[in-house]
Amino acid sequence: MPSRLVNELSPFHVMEVLEKAKELESRGIDVIHFEIGEPDTPTNIQICEAAIDSIRAGNTRYSESMGIPILKNAIAEEYKKSYGVEISERRVGITMGSSPAIFLTLLSIIEPGDEVIVIEPHYPCYPQLIRISGGIPVSCRVYEEDEYQIDIDRLRKKISNRTRGIIVNSPSNPTGTIMEPDILKSITELGIYVISDEIYHGLEYGKKAHSILEYTDNAFVLNGFSKLYSMTGWRLGYCILPEEFIRPVQKLQQNLFISPNPFVQMAGVEAIKKVRHQVPDLVDLYNSRRLIMLEGLREMGFDLKTVPNGAFYVFLDISPLGRKSYDLAFDILEKVHLAVTPGIDFGVDMDGYMRLTYTNPEEVIREGLGRLAKYLELQTD
C-alpha cells in the first residue's frame, strides 16, 4: 500500500493536460501548446558541442559532490557581473536541475512541523516539496490589482513561532511579475530564511530583476540553465548557500544524488562563458511574442489589470467564464485543441485563472489565440 505521503500529494495538473494533449496528437489532431513552461528554441549548438567534447575527453565519471570548480566559479563571477555581489565559489552547489536545489534547501532548514511561507499564486511544486521535507506550507496571497506585489504587513501576519522561511520567485511563475527591490529588502528583515527562486532571471522586459543576495548573505538562491539557455532536458541547476549550510547541503547531496553529471556541467560552463552574450536576442524574441499575446487577449475582452514583465507567462483571469479552471482547461483542449494550464495548479484560490505561455513562434501564438477566441464564441452561441 502506498505511503500516506504520496497518497496526499496533489498531482501536477499541467502534466495531466500535457499528457491528454499528447494523446490527441497521437490520433493525428493538431494541438497548440500554451501550457508547458519550456522554451521552444533549441539549445545553442556551442553548448551541445561542449558536452560532446567533454564526453569524448572521458568526463563520464563522478564529479565532486557539489560540482566542478570551474562551473562554480563561473556562476560566482556571473552573479558579481549581474548584481555586484561577491560570493565565494564554495557557496555554490551544482544540482541536477533546480528542483533538487529547492529540495536540498528545504531539507536543510525544516524540522518536522515547521512552516514555510509560499506566495500565492506560486509554482505548483513548492507546497509539495515542503510537505515531502516534513514541513507545512503556509500561503500568503498576492493580488492582480496590486501588480502581484507582496504586502509586507499581510506577510508579517503569516509568520508564527514555527516559521522557518519563505520562498519568493521573481520573475514569477505564473504571473511574470518582477518584485520591487524595496519589498525584497523588507523580506530579508523579517528574521526568517529567504529562499529566492531566480530561475527566470535574465528573461526581463523593461524592468530589472534583483537578486536577494543584493540585500543579504543569509539567504538561499535557486537557479539553473533550463529557461535562460533552453536546457530543460539537461537537468542542470544550482543553489547559492549561506556559509553555515554548505556542509549540511553537501551531505544531503552526497546521500541523495551523489554528484551532478560532469559533461553536463561543462556544457553549463560554455553557456555562461560563451553563450550568455546572446541572451538579449532571446529576450527580444520573447518580448515580441509577449506583446502579440497581450494584444490578442485584450481584443478578446480580457481585462489585464497588470502585465508580465518577466519569464514567459500570462496569468489570465477567467472568472467571468464561470467555470472551474481544471474543467475549463480540458474543455478548451477537447473543443479547440488548445492546451492551457489550469489556475488550480498555482494555489487553492487560483481556480478563477489559467496560465498561458508564449514559448511558440509568432504565427503559432496567433493561431492559438484564434482558437481561444473561437472557444469563447462557442460559449455565447
Q: Are residues 247 and 100 in the same domain?
A: yes
Q: Does residue 171 have a cis bond before it (omega within 30 degrees)?
A: yes
**Above 70 in pLDDT, residue 20?**
yes
On whether both 121 and 110 belong to a single domain, the answer is yes
* Contact indicator for 341, 354 with CB cutoff of 8 Å: yes
If one counts every other C-beta atom within 10 angstroms of the C-beta of residue 101, the result is 28
Q: Is the model's pLDDT at 134 over the cut of 90?
A: yes
User: Is there a contact between 272 and 78 (Cβ–Cβ < 8 Å)?
Assistant: yes
For residues 255 and 252, what is the distance between their CA atoms, to the nearest angstrom?
5
- 181 and 253 in a common domain: yes
Cβ-contact 315, 175 below 8 angstroms: yes
At which residue does the C-alpha cell 558541442 appear? 49
Q: Mark which of 275, 296, 319 sits at the end of a domain.
A: 275
Q: Are residues 148 and 8 in the same domain?
A: no
Same domain, 13 and 90: no
pLDDT at 210: 98
**Within this chain, do residues 188 and 299 fall inside the same structural domain, yes or no?**
no
Residue 83 backbone phi and psi in degrees, to 5: -125, -5
Both 191 and 333 in a single domain? Answer: no
Strands (E), 4-68: 32-33
CA distances, 198 to each of 74, 168, 238, 372 (Å): 17, 9, 10, 31
Helix (H/G/I), strand (E/B), else coil: 327: helix
254, 275, 296: which is the final residue of a domain?
275
pLDDT tens for 94-118 read 999 999 999 999 999 999 999 999 9
Task: Identify whether the C-beta of residue 325 lies closer than 8 Å to the C-beta of residue 309.
Answer: no
Both 138 and 22 in one domain: the answer is no
Residue 323's pLDDT is what?
87
Whether the CB-CB separation of 100 and 94 falls below 8 Å is answered with no
Confidence tier at 322 by pLDDT (50, 70, 90): confident
Query: For residue 144, what is the enclosing H or E element?
Result: none
Cα dihedral 156→157→161→164 (10° resolution):
-50
216: enclosing H helix or E strand: none
Confidence of residue 381 (pLDDT cuts 50, 70, 90): low
Kindly report the pTM of this predicted structure: 0.94
Mode of pairing for the β-strands spanning 115-120 and 237-240 = unpaired
CA dist 69 and 93 (Å) reads 10
| DSSP single-letter state for residue 75 | H
**What percent of the chain is modeled with pLDDT above 90?**
92
In the chain, the number of structural domains is 2
Please indicate, yes or no, whether residues 189 and 294 belong to a single structural domain of this protein: no
- Residue found under cell 556541467: 265
Residues 53 and 194 in one domain: yes
In the beta sheet, which residues pair with residue 237? 95, 224
List, in sequence order, the alpha helices (H) in 58-151. Answer: 69-83, 98-109, 125-132
pLDDT band (50, 70, 90) for residue 246: very high
- Cell numbers that stand for 104 in this block: 536540498
pLDDT digits (tens, 9 = 90+) for 300-315: 999 898 999 999 999 9
Cα angle for residues 126, 252, 256 (degrees, 5° grid): 80
Q: Average pLDDT, whole number, for the chain?
A: 95
Give the mean pLDDT of 345-349.
Answer: 93
- Expressed as residue numbers, the domain containing 133 is 45-275
CATH code (residue 356): 3.90.1150.10
User: What is the chain's length?
Assistant: 381
Residue with cell 504587513: 153
Q: What are the pLDDT digits (tens) for 76-91?
A: 999 999 999 999 999 9
Domain end residue (candidates: 249, 275, 301): 275
Place of cell 455565447: 380
Distance, in Å, from the CA atom of 277 to the CA atom of 368, rounded to the nearest integer, reads: 31
Is the pLDDT at 5 greater than 90? The verdict is no
Residue 214 and residue 229 in one domain? yes
Q: What is the mean pLDDT of residues 169-177?
A: 97
Residues 315, 317, 323, 327, Cα dihedral to 10°: 0
- Model pLDDT for residues 253-278, shown as the tens digit of each residue: 999 999 999 999 999 999 999 999 99
Instruction: Indicate which CATH number applies to the domain containing 75.
Output: 3.40.640.10
Say whether both 238 and 306 belong to one domain. Answer: no
Contact 253, 104 (CB under 8 A): yes
The reported pLDDT for the residue numbered 7 is 86
Q: Report the amino acid identity of residue 281.
A: D
**In sequence order, which residues have a C-beta less than 8 Å from that of residue 28 and are 6 or more positions away?**
none
> Is residue 380 scored above 90 in pLDDT?
no
How far apart are alpha carbons 225 and 235 in whole angstroms? Answer: 8
Residue type, 356: L
Q: How far apart are CA 228 and CA 125, in angstroms?
A: 20
CA distance 181 to 283: 21
Whole-Å CA distances, 336 to 168, 319, 328, 330, 361: 35, 20, 12, 10, 19
